[in-house]
Amino acid sequence: MNLRIRIADDEELIRKSLVKLLSAEGYEVDAVGSAAEVLESVRNDPPQILILDLRLPDGSGLELLPRLKSLEPDLKVVVITAFGDLPTAVQAMRQGATDFIKKPYEMHEMVLAIERLKAGIARENQLDAFRRGELESFLKTKIVGEAPAMRRIWDLVGKVSKSEATTVLIEGESGTGKDLVARAIHFESARRGAPFLALNCSSFQEQLLENELFGHERGAFTDAREPKRGLVELADQGTLFLDEIADLPSATQAKFLRFIEDRTFKRVGGAADIAVDLRIVAATNRDLDQTVKDGRFRQDLYYRLKVVSILLPPLRERGEDIQLLIRHFLDHYNEKFRKRFTSIAPEVQEIVRSYRWPGNVRELRNLVERIVLLEDDDTLREDHLPAEMIAEVESVPRVLRDALSARGEGEGDMPTLAEVEQEHILKVLDSTDGNRSAAARILGISRQSLIERIKRIAASRGAHAQDESIRARLLR
């Protein structure tokens, strides 16, 4: 990395010595001798690093610092101050200086200070490149969905992104795209230039999780040889995405609630409060309301996270979005694997419409990826599909026959698949004596999803039902 360095010092001998020293180290170096010159030079031709003597003939470097940083916010400033004038150096750091060196100093001290800044600039450049890559990757990820429920979701995402909301809760079954929604909230907001950091709460033991979130000070525990910044600190000005929030240990829940309340925290083993400004997006595939009732999640934390709530529908409730998603993933993996799938056989279209998709969009994406990778064809055919998927869908006629037999209807009056589903839900509710949480577990859906289905059944059948037993089963 070829860094440009400028020296601002009123002593000509020091200027020449530093120019010679740093030029020999391979840096591009120039020098000025006054406050007016350094201000003008930064305005017209900013360097990456400025070595600034705080005592210049026409002004104080301390007063100059805020003006320099306003002109060039990324400018790294090493201030030179007289021996013993530590309070001035501390004040300079607060006003934007990156490092300070006390006079008199050895030349190797200056070289080491520049090397530290060089390493820091390299890390920042890597991070900037990573963020740009993340943004480009997100922009290339087409958000597919025309179902009314998904349109409402993306309308809400747009509003949340532009709002000042600092806590968002995303709920939905596994594979419904909660991480994509979290990224959309970040990258469509004013925070897009700052980090988006993600943590799966189920991946760490309690002590490790706290360390991952809040960091630690040197000596906090046996192996803590250096201080470490946690994710809440690294995500400052950006977004922290906490997946599987229901798995947050109870002790960590209490500490995280305190952090959410005032946006300050202490590193593990630390005494100083550190303040940050970030948006927290939490996600869960569990019924968090029931988890609270079961005593496994703090109610106050639940309500604090649920300032804005987004509930993602399962894929089986998104109708023709399934076809759109298949075509989207076919295009994506055709390009990636250099294949030529261009159409979907009619029997496949029928199967994917009838299949339950327990893994939701993730399952669909993985299926299409596997087919495109392994098969050499231009049409997605039935024999490309897993046997267990076909077997499940082929069981639908048996369910229909069972429903006909139970209702005493003839083959000429076949019920729709939606009617069979409604009958099945009612039977499961009967078997659980109306316990909706138990019924949802048997059905393999979330409690909220079951409640929404019950509302639809009530609207279509219960509200005007001649059979009072249906109304009773729905309303109890």
Please provide residue 450's backbone torsions phi and psi, each rounded to the nearest 5 degrees: -65, -45
Q: Residue 452 and residue 416: Cα distance in Å, rounded? A: 19
What pLDDT score does 435 carry? Answer: 84
Is pLDDT above 80 for 466?
A: no
- The 10s digit of each residue's pLDDT in 233-257 is 999 999 999 999 999 999 999 999 9
pLDDT-based confidence at residue 465 (cuts at 50, 70, 90): very low
Q: Residue 23 and residue 29: Cα distance in Å, rounded? A: 6
What pLDDT score does 126 carry? Answer: 66
Asked if residue 51 lies in contact with residue 30, where contact means CB atoms within 8 angstroms, the answer is no
- The 10s digit of each residue's pLDDT in 262-315 is 999 998 888 888 999 999 999 999 999 999 999 999 999 999 999 999 999 999
Radius of gyration of the chain (CA): 31
Q: Residue 133 and residue 126: Cα distance in Å, rounded? A: 10
pLDDT-based confidence at residue 141 (cuts at 50, 70, 90): low
pLDDT-based confidence at residue 404 (cuts at 50, 70, 90): very low
Asked if residue 247 lies in contact with residue 201, where contact means CB atoms within 8 angstroms, the answer is yes
Sign of the torsion formed by the C-alpha atoms of 348, 354, 359 and 361: positive
Average pLDDT, stretch 152-158?
90
> What is the residue-averaged pLDDT of the chain?
84
Average pLDDT, stretch 164-169?
94
Q: Residue 283 and residue 262: Cα distance in Å, rounded? A: 21
In the DSSP assignment, the letter for residue 459 is I
- Provide the percentage of residues in the chain whose pLDDT is more than 90: 39
Q: Cα 70 vs. chain centroid, distance in angstroms?
A: 31
Asked if residue 243 lies in contact with residue 178, where contact means CB atoms within 8 angstroms, the answer is yes
Is pLDDT above 50 for 223?
A: yes
Structure tokens at 69: 């940083």
What pLDDT score does 305 carry? Answer: 95
Q: Residue 64 and residue 413: Cα distance in Å, rounded? A: 87
pLDDT-based confidence at residue 108 (cuts at 50, 70, 90): confident
Tell me if the pTM is above 0.95: no
Asked if residue 5 lies in contact with residue 28, where contact means CB atoms within 8 angstroms, the answer is yes
Map tokens 């079954």 to a residue.
173
Domains and CATH numbers, the chain: 4-123 (3.40.50.2300), 148-311 (3.40.50.300), 315-394 (1.10.8.60), 396-475 (1.10.10.60)
What pLDDT score does 134 carry? Answer: 61
In order of 4, 123, 418, 429, the CA distances from 48 in angstroms are 5, 14, 66, 68
Residue type, 254: A
Burial of 208 (0-12, 13-18, 19+ CB in 10 A): exposed
CB atoms within 10 A of CB 398: 9
Q: Which helix (H) or strand (E) holds 263?
A: none
- Provide the percentage of residues in the chain whose pLDDT is more than 70: 86
- The 10s digit of each residue's pLDDT in 425-447 is 888 888 788 888 888 877 767 77
Burial of 304 (0-12, 13-18, 19+ CB in 10 A): middle
Please provide residue 142's backbone torsions phi and psi, each rounded to the nearest 5 degrees: -70, 130
What pLDDT score does 463 carry? Answer: 47
Asked if residue 259 lies in contact with residue 301, where contact means CB atoms within 8 angstroms, the answer is no
Range of lowest pLDDT (177-191, 388-402, 417-431) = 388-402
What pLDDT score does 148 carry? Answer: 87
Asked if residue 288 lies in contact with residue 253, where contact means CB atoms within 8 angstroms, the answer is no
More confident residue, 164 or 440: 164
